[in-house]
Structure 1
Amino acid sequence: MSTTDDDVNKSSAPLIEHLIELRSRLIWAIGGFFVAFLVCFFFAKELFELLVIPFKWATQWAGMASDKVELIYTAPQEFFFTQIKLAMFGGTVLAFPMIAAQIYKFVAPGLYKNERAAFLPFLIASPVLFLIGAALVYFFFTPMVMWFFLAMQQVGPGEEVQISLLPRVSEYLSLIMTLIFSFGLVFQLPVVTSLMARVGLLTAEGLASKRKWAIVIAFVAAAILTPPDPMSQIGLAIPTILLYEVSIWLARMIEKKRAQEQHARDVAAAAEPLPPSVDQTHS
């Protein structure tokens, strides 16, 4: 066998090992999602009733007398597919820690020790921030949006035309999932900008100079990601702008820490004794 063939075989061996490792991590990630999906599908009705609670709060805010809310489905298979969609969404949320852990285990061997130490906090902060955004949607914005829609009803005794809100199960689930996804995505802004600032792709000064554009983009993104009502659009745009300001502050902190570390290295390098010169060595 020639030297070229030996080099090719040696270079292909690490690639095969990486592919085997990737397959193993994918199996664990998909298996974790499948188990979480089955659990969520088994409790799909209970999970849906849990998601309806913000709608109940909205009816109370609207002054409706009944303690119960009514949702409908207009196709025989609609509620079944709604449960599947809910199980997929819930399964992804439950399995995310395992999926993130598998991604980290696959990437970590190729990182230096200081890079792993820098990457791990962001990996932990990402799901925490997503849950904060989801909690904000569940406890505040969904009841507020549903109250806004309920206020458009015409159900009074003096109304000649009675118009009442009777949402479909699929549309209500799509609404709350869209809000949770939108807020969860927006709450990743500090994580993304901090990572980019850490590797030098963004600076605090650059972020601050683009503040006006960021405000415009925040409202445009809110109009795209949320339902077409002003309550949810303003409710998403304002946290986005606040998170952008948090991102600027984090970028400044990262730059300050980097400058301090560079100063400490410079001081340590200046304190080291100089190597002997050639003349001193021969003398």
Structure 2
Amino acid sequence: MTDDARLTLVEHLGELRKRLIISSIVIILGSLLCYNYIDIIIQLIVRPAEGLEFIYLSPPELFIAYVKISLVLGLFVASPIVLFQIWMFIKPGLKVKERKYVLFAMFMGIIFLLIGVSFAYFIIIPMTIKFFIKMSVDQIAPLFSFANYISFISSLLLSFGLVFELPLIIILLTQLGLVAPNTFKKYRKMVILGIFIVAAILTPPDVVSQTMMAIPMLFLYEFSIIVSTIIYRKKKEEKQSKINDES
């Protein structure tokens, strides 16, 4: 049986079950590994808020926060194997050209995700925290709950990681011939409005975080249009060259 051959429904479900079991086991092992090094991980997490002191408001709060951190990082550590399991599941139903696009999307998706997370960790989070600390007065000192801090930085890291996938999405749509660059240019004003709405939804409810997310999104959108235009022109030239050769 070749890769392109259709599997029966039972075989599909069996294959899916196998991939899910492997992924779940790897995520659990990754989470346990991360929990084993939780002290080192916590030092990295609180580094952007250097100088601040944290509290926890209930006996289980800190433990629950540690478990959540371990699970999220466990998923991140296990992501290469999880992505491989996804690839092995969808591979038989893809054509050769489609496989290249999917592999490219997976690889570049990880790269853009890491860039977005790094940008948030090293630049956005420290700037945002410093901004809020400056708002304190003598009678009101900044004292943060660790659980709330984890929720705050998690939403920023995840949001910026996802936002930095925008160029990849636009490039893939152009490469697949689904959308032309002129379409992105035509609806630029609507996209700008949408960017600020998305920034307000994804980030914590403060103007600083929302603005700091919207600005990179605008830059990424304009950058994506430039790359999309280059790809579109190249595809058009290759198509015209092929027509000329055939004639």
Q: Is the 8 A contact 2:199 2:210 kept in 1?
A: yes
User: Which of residues 3, 17, 20 in structure 2 aligns to 1:23?
Assistant: 17
1:263, CA displacement in angstroms? 2.2
Instruction: Please give the residue correspondences for 1:93-108 in structure 2 after superposition, counting only pairs within 5 Å.
Output: 93-108=76-91
The corresponding residue for 1:163 is 140
Instruction: Please give the residue correspondences for 1:23-102 in structure 2 after superposition, counting only pairs within 5 Å.
Output: 23-56=17-50, 59=51, 69-102=52-85
1:126, CA displacement in angstroms? 0.5
Instruction: Please give the residue correspondences for 1:140-159 in structure 2 after superposition, counting only pairs within 5 Å.
Output: 140-155=123-138
Aligned: 1:269 with 2:228: no
Q: Distance in 1 between matches of 2:222 and 2:7?
A: 47
1:29, CA displacement in angstroms? 1.5
Give the ranges of 4+ consecutive aligned residues of structure 1 lying more than 6 Å apart after TM superposition: none
The corresponding residue for 1:277 is none
Instruction: Please give the residue correspondences for 1:233-252 in structure 2 after superposition, counting only pairs within 5 Å.
Output: 233-252=210-229
User: Which of residues 185, 190, 196 in structure 2 aligns to 1:213?
Assistant: 190
Unaligned runs of 5+ in 2: none
Q: Which has the higher contact order (CA 8 A, sep 6+)?
A: 2
Q: Is the 8 A contact 1:222 1:234 kept in 2?
A: yes
Q: Is the 8 A contact 1:45 1:83 kept in 2?
A: no
User: Which of residues 100, 115, 136 in structure 2 aligns to 1:132?
Assistant: 115
Q: Distance in 1 between matches of 2:84 and 2:34?
A: 21
Q: Distance in 2 between matches of 1:128 and 1:187?
A: 9
Q: TM-score, normalised by structure 1?
A: 0.81
1:119, CA displacement in angstroms? 2.2
Partner of 1:126, secondary structure, is helix
Q: Is the 8 A contact 1:144 1:231 kept in 2?
A: no
Partner of 2:55, secondary structure, is coil
Q: Distance in 1 between matches of 2:84 and 2:98?
A: 16
1:195, CA displacement in angstroms? 2.1
The one-letter amino acid paired with 1:32 is V
Which structure has the greater CA radius of gyration?
A: 1
1:258, CA displacement in angstroms? 2.0
The one-letter amino acid paired with 1:263 is Q
1:13, CA displacement in angstroms? 6.2
- Identity within the alignment, %: 36
Q: Distance in 2 between matches of 1:226 and 1:257?
A: 37
Unaligned runs of 5+ in 1: 1-10, 60-68, 156-161, 271-283
The one-letter amino acid paired with 1:71 is F
What number of residue pairs does the alignment pair up?
243
Aligned CA distance change for structure 1 residues 266 and 239 (closer, same or farther; 3 Å): same
Partner of 2:152, secondary structure, is helix
Q: Is the 8 A contact 1:73 1:170 kept in 2?
A: yes
The corresponding residue for 2:154 is 177
User: Which of residues 14, 32, 45 in structure 1 aligns to 2:8?
Assistant: 14
The corresponding residue for 1:66 is none
The one-letter amino acid paired with 1:189 is L
CA RMSD of aligned residues (A): 1.8
